[in-house]
Amino acid sequence: MRAILLGPPGAGKGTQAARLSERYGVPAISTGDIFRANVGGGTGLGLQAKEYMNAGALVPDSITNAMVKDRLSQDDVGNGFLLDGYPRNPDQAVELDLMLGDLGVKLDVVLELTADFDEVTQRLLGRALKEGRADDTEDVIRHRLEVYAESTAPLTAFYEGRGLLVQIDGMGEIDDVTERLVAAVNSLSTP
Ligand code: ADP
């Protein structure tokens, strides 16, 4: 399975990506997690990304695209992958197409987790208390949601035009959302 998980911050992409990864035996690749690991480890990449992340802005495409290209060149993506948090704007989507073309593979599906903006804001504020992520303050959350609406949401139309988009209601119990995703993925492979 080669899939993209789309959806606003706080829609539960990370949680669901981990579950789908286990179920289908493909790695979940979260650009946010890779960036956070680099920030935590104090690497050059982390230093480049940190300010943007703390502001809730996108890390520049040149940095992000190079990182994803490197990740997709690793051996464990042979059976597929689940991208969580990438692409996040139209230029990244074009870049991803080029990378996949070079690898000689195609996307199977783009799963969009839909979520109510008020609900995701509340979830993110709750997560701020538990995990203390530097970008989970109210102002930064608002900005991340704006960036999503402006830069990332247009991707749904892009992938819908290619017949790849499946929308899944991301509200409700975590298990229920997982079941909806699994049903959507399984219905793809049934002839
Ligand atoms: P969320 O979806 O909750 O905002 P992520 O962990 O996906 O959280 O992303 C956290 C931050 O990492 C983003 O606000 C952004 O600064 C950076 N980031 C992650 N993915 C990308 C990407 N594809 N392009 C640019 N920046 C990214």
- Tens of pLDDT, residues 114-125: 999 888 988 888
pLDDT of 133 reads: 82
Taking the CA of residue 88 as reference, the ligand 1 atom at the shortest distance is 23
Residue with CA closest to ligand 1 atom 23 = 86
pLDDT of 191 reads: 52
Query: In whole numbers, what is the pLDDT of the chain averaged over residues?
Result: 94
With a 6 A CB cut-off, is 148 part of the ligand 1 pocket?
no
pLDDT of 156 reads: 96
Whether pLDDT at 189 is above 90 = no
Which of 4, 13, 35 has the most ligand 1 atoms within 8 A of CB, as the residue to mutate?
A: 35
Closest CA to 171 of 118, 125, 110, 109: 118
Whether pLDDT at 143 is above 70 = yes
CA dist., res. 157 & res. 102, Å (int): 24
With a 6 A CB cut-off, is 58 part of the ligand 1 pocket?
yes
pTM: 0.92
The predicted model gives 29-48 an average pLDDT of: 96
Task: Give Cα separations from 173 to 78, 141, 179 (angstroms).
Answer: 32, 23, 10
The predicted model gives 156-173 an average pLDDT of: 96
| Residues whose CB is less than 8 angstroms from the CB of residue 155 and which lie 6 or more positions away in sequence, other chains included | 6, 87, 88, 89, 90, 93, 110
pLDDT over 90, % of the chain: 84
CA dist., res. 43 & res. 170, Å (int): 34
Whether pLDDT at 190 is above 60 = no
- Give the DSSP letter of residue 12: S
For 48-103, how does the pLDDT look when each residue is reduced to its tens digit (9 = 90+)? 999 999 999 999 999 999 999 999 999 999 999 999 999 999 999 999 999 999 99
Residue with CA closest to ligand 1 atom 3 = 9
pLDDT of 127 reads: 84
Q: Which residues are catalytic?
A: 13, 88, 127, 133, 144
Whether pLDDT at 129 is above 90 = no
